[in-house]
Structure 1
Amino acid sequence: MTTESNEPKSRYLQHLEIITGPLEDKKRWRQYKARVKRLPENYRIAVEALERYLMHFGPADGAGAMAMYDDLAELFEQSAADGTPIRDIFGDDPVEFAEAFMANYPLGQYRARERHRLAGAIERAAGENPEREDRTKR
């Protein structure tokens, strides 16, 4: 059922991906989960907690999200290999770390767009920046 990247996909696979999403993203997700599972327990717990947070607030599209999760696994694999303490990775505020980490992956991040729209609307309403482009009309 697999096809080479230079071969066209069968109609069946095309229809299946319409319903389930790209099969390559599913493969990458399984690989990511396997990498996380191999981490020492305390690192795995930290990654899984961060993963839950990112699921709610991170990029929603497959490619952007998978790039983020691949980098997350790499960060924790390297940290585990170096013996970096969990608190040295996250700092004092895990939410601040998560937000800074997500900021590197804007693709598909509707929250950044909505924050920009909100700030622009409030600036216009307050008469602070009337020349700012109104992105809500797009």
Structure 2
Amino acid sequence: MGIRDMIEGKKQWRAHMARVKALPPDYQIVYKEMQRYFFKVGPVDLLEGTLLSGIVDFFEEGVAGGKGVLELIGDDVAAFCDDLIKDSRTNADIYQESISGKSGPAER
């Protein structure tokens, strides 16, 4: 990764966070909790994928439709997050494989 790639990545991240800050406060709170959850447990390809920007798109549509954030995702934010990444390889999967001695699909 070159310096230009890092600079471009920072620009994209700042633009993404500007979109988050434009959301109503309740949406921002839920987004930040989801982001924290994904960074802790989430998919290995989180930063390369479109998961976070897709969530912002989804939230922007909800705001435009006049819905509250919990109307969109339900009361259990973690369950909603788990459903989004159910088919993705996660950091938790890698950890479980490392302590059990099994090799994951990438290591085979």
TM-score above 0.5: yes
- Aligned partner of 2:60 among 52, 77, 82: 77
Segments of 4+ moved more than 6 angstroms = none
Distance of 2:42 and 2:6 partners within structure 1: 19
Using the TM superposition, give the Cα deviation of residue 86 of structure 1 relative to its aligned residue in structure 2, in angstroms. Answer: 2.1
Q: Does 1:68 align with 2:60?
A: no
Question: Contact 2:43–2:91 (CA<8 Å) still a contact in 1?
Answer: yes
Distance of 1:83 and 1:75 partners within structure 2: 13
Higher relative contact order (CA 8 A, sep 6+): 2
**What TM-score comes out, normalization by structure 2 length?**
0.72
1:83 aligned partner, one-letter code: G
- Residues 78 and 102 of structure 1, relative CA distance in 2, 3 Å threshold: same
Larger radius of gyration: 1
- Structure 1 unaligned blocks of 5 or more: 1-12, 122-133
What does 1:78-117 correspond to in 2, within 5 Å? 78-103=61-86, 106=88, 109-112=90-93, 117=97
Partner secondary structure for residue 48 of structure 2: helix
- Structure 2 unaligned blocks of 5 or more: none
Distance of 1:112 and 1:89 partners within structure 2: 28
What does 1:1-138 correspond to in 2, within 5 Å? 14=2, 16=3, 22-61=6-45, 62-64=47-49, 67-103=50-86, 106=88, 109-112=90-93, 117=97, 135=103, 138=108
RMSD of aligned Cα (Å): 2.8
Question: Contact 1:54–1:98 (CA<8 Å) still a contact in 2?
Answer: yes
**What TM-score comes out, normalization by structure 1 length?**
0.59
